[in-house]
């Protein structure tokens, strides 16, 4: 009977201690959970966030401001900038120390022999490998964050270039619209004059028909320009984050940018690796990869984990101890990861060199294109000046009936064709210069040392 009582007493002690231990662990768990993050969900938007012109910083755009507006309001850039807090969080995570490992065990002897007690073991261990790799892990995360920031900056530059390119297209469509409107007015006067001449019997109907065809062709061209202008305007509005119905005005562009300075281009090209965001981003990515490569090399050494233990066996013998866990790099030795990181570093180095070479080639190509286009403009302008001279001399003779109607109409068509061709060439010069500015890591054409000359029109602004 006494043995049974001792057994019951032992059982009650066994259950009492685990209950107390469970309560203690539960209390510790509740304290830990107080510092844990909680889940919250942000609902997705149901409507676009494009702004109206009333919300925009200005309703009048010029070649300089359109890029800044695009950089501020472009929806893709707004979304791209949200990557930066994500990278900040990765840098924060890389700097966190690993948590220690706590181990608990409790053993209840099944035997009822006298003198036996419940055995337990408590251990606290820490992996020292993470401390060895921590510096390179943080360095890799920081350079990765810098790469993302520079990628966003390069995306901003490209968006600004695209906005300026659309601005250029819209400005020259406005110019073509004015040219066609003006020449259509001349064609209509010519048709009215021929109608009167045909009615008097001094000219045949076929001449009037030819003039009507010329007028119809010009009106079709004008309609095409208007359609293109609507398309480009909507594309520009979308790029700078405006609603399609938002109205805005643009300033006119100089007629001729001149030729970029060779010395200035050489200076900008030499300093390109220190200024252009995409090259700086590739460099940051290469440095981040080198940090990972150094981390992989450090990872080839044995990993070490140390710990402290306190235990009591069933005979009530208490012990304190130290545990050491060491990996033996006999087969793996992290050699596979080292090979991967080295190959990745070599690839990034080659990509950086390829981007640098492509940039230099693109600069030389755009520079040559601008020179050729300017020569073509000069030749076309000489031809246009000669046609203008003949038209001015023949206009009075035509009104007096001393100049053939078909020849005069052909001169008017030739003048319009040449004017539109020159406008196209000048637009190409502007677009090539805009591309050259972006490739060289600049902001405006003036940074190329290219002086601007006369404007496309006398108006200061144009409503589109």
Least confident range of 8-12, 203-207, 300-304: 8-12
Asked, for residue 29, whether it belongs to a domain, the answer is no
* Pair 61, 251: CB distance under 8 Å: yes
Tens of pLDDT, residues 411-440: 999 999 999 999 999 999 999 999 999 999
Least confident range of 83-92, 174-183, 386-395: 386-395
Q: What is the mean pLDDT of residues 124-147?
A: 93
Asked, for residue 43, whether it belongs to a domain, the answer is no
Q: How sure is the predictor about 192, in pLDDT bands with cuts at 50, 70 and 90?
A: confident
Beta strand 318-326 pairing with 249-251:
unpaired
Alpha-carbon span 341 to 161, nearest angstrom: 35
* Nearest CA-CA partner of 93 in 147, 54, 37, 163: 37
Tens of pLDDT, residues 71-85: 998 999 999 999 999
Residues 339, 329 share a domain: no
Q: How many domains does the chain have?
A: 2
Residues 112, 81 share a domain: no
Which pLDDT score is estimated for 14? 43
Asked, for residue 229, whether it belongs to a domain, the answer is yes
Which pLDDT score is estimated for 454? 44
Asked, for residue 327, whether it belongs to a domain, the answer is yes
The dihedral region occupied by 115, where left means phi > 0, alpha psi between -120 and 50, and beta the remainder, is left
Asked, for residue 5, whether it belongs to a domain, the answer is no
Q: How sure is the predictor about 201, in pLDDT bands with cuts at 50, 70 and 90?
A: confident
Tens of pLDDT, residues 394-405: 887 877 777 788
Which pLDDT score is estimated for 38? 58
* Nearest CA-CA partner of 252 in 62, 58, 452: 62
Residues 233, 361 share a domain: yes
Residues 119, 237 share a domain: no
Residues 385, 250 share a domain: yes
Alpha-carbon span 423 to 429, nearest angstrom: 10
Which pLDDT score is estimated for 42? 63
Kindly report the CATH number assigned to the domain that includes residue 196.
Answer: 1.20.1600.10
Residues 182, 276 share a domain: yes
CA–CA–CA angle 372, 375, 376 (5° rounding): 85
Least confident range of 66-80, 247-261, 359-373: 247-261
* Nearest CA-CA partner of 153 in 141, 161, 90, 93: 161
Element (H, E) at 42: none
Which pLDDT score is estimated for 456? 43
Which pLDDT score is estimated for 196? 83
pLDDT at 141 over 60: yes
Task: Summarize the chain as % helix, strand, coil (round to 5).
Answer: 65, 10, 25
Residues 144, 274 share a domain: yes
pLDDT at 273 over 50: yes
Indicate the residue among 333, 356, 382 that finishes a domain: 333
Residues 206, 354 share a domain: yes
Asked, for residue 90, whether it belongs to a domain, the answer is yes
What are 365's two structure tokens?
Answer: 């190509």
Alpha-carbon span 17 to 428, nearest angstrom: 87
Residues 289, 210 share a domain: yes
**Residue 106 belongs to domain spanning:** 100-127+301-333
Residues 424, 372 share a domain: yes
Question: Backbone phi, then psi, for 441, in 5-degree steps?
Answer: 75, 30
Asked, for residue 459, whether it belongs to a domain, the answer is yes
Residues 157, 264 share a domain: yes
Q: What is the mean pLDDT of residues 279-287?
A: 96
Element (H, E) at 321: strand 318-326
Kindly report the CATH number assigned to the domain that includes residue 118.
Answer: 2.20.200
Residues 314, 174 share a domain: no
């Amino acid at each position: 009977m006494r043995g049974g009582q001792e057994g019951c007493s032992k059982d009650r002690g066994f259950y009492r201690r685990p209950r107390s231990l469970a309560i203690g662990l539960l209390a510790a768990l509740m304290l830990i959970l107080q510092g844990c993050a909680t889940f919250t969900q942000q609902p997705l938007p149901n409507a676009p966030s494009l702004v109206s012109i009333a919300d925009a910083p200005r309703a009048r755009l010029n070649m300089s401001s359109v890029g800044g507006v695009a950089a501020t309001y472009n929806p893709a850039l707004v979304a791209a900038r949200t990557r930066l807090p994500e990278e900040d969080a990765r840098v924060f995570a890389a700097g966190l120390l690993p948590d220690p490992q706590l181990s608990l065990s409790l053993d209840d002897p099944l035997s009822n022999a006298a003198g036996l007690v419940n055995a337990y073991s408590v251990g606290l261990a820490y992996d020292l490998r993470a401390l060895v790799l921590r510096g390179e892990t943080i360095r890799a995360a920081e350079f990765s964050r810098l790469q993302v920031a520079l990628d966003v900056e390069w995306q901003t530059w490209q968006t600004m270039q695209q906005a300026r390119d659309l601005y250029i297209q819209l400005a020259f469509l406005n110019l073509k619209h004015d040219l066609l409107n003006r020449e259509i007015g001349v064609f209509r006067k010519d048709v009215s004059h021929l109608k009167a001449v045909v009615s008097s019997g001094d000219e045949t109907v076929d001449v009037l028909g030819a003039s009507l065809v010329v007028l119809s062709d010009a009106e079709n061209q004008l309609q095409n320009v208007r359609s293109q202008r609507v398309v480009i305007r909507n594309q520009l509005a979308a790029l700078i984050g405006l609603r399609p119905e938002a109205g805005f005005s643009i300033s006119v562009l100089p007629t001729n940018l001149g030729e970029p300075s060779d010395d200035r281009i050489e200076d900008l090209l030499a300093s390109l690796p220190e200024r252009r965001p995409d090259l700086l981003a590739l460099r940051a990515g290469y440095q981040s990869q080198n940090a990972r490569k150094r981390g992989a090399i450090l990872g080839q050494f044995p990993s070490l984990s140390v710990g402290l233990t306190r235990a009591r066996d069933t005979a009530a013998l208490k012990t304190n101890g130290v545990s050491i866990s060491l990996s033996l790099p006999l087969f793996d030795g992290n050699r596979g990861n080292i090979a991967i990181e080295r190959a990745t570093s070599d690839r990034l180095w080659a990509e950086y060199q390829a981007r640098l070479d492509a940039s230099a080639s693109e600069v030389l190509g755009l520079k040559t294109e601008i020179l050729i286009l300017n020569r073509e403009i000069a030749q076309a302008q000489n031809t246009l000046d000669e046609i203008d001279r003949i038209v001015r001399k023949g206009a009075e003779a035509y009104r007096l009936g001393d100049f053939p109607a078909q020849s005069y109409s052909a001169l008017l068509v030739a003048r319009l064709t040449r004017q539109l061709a020159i406008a196209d060439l000048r637009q190409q010069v502007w677009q090539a210069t805009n591309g050259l500015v972006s490739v060289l890591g600049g902001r405006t054409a003036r940074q190329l040392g290219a002086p601007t000359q006369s404007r496309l029109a006398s108006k200061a602004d144009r409503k589109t």
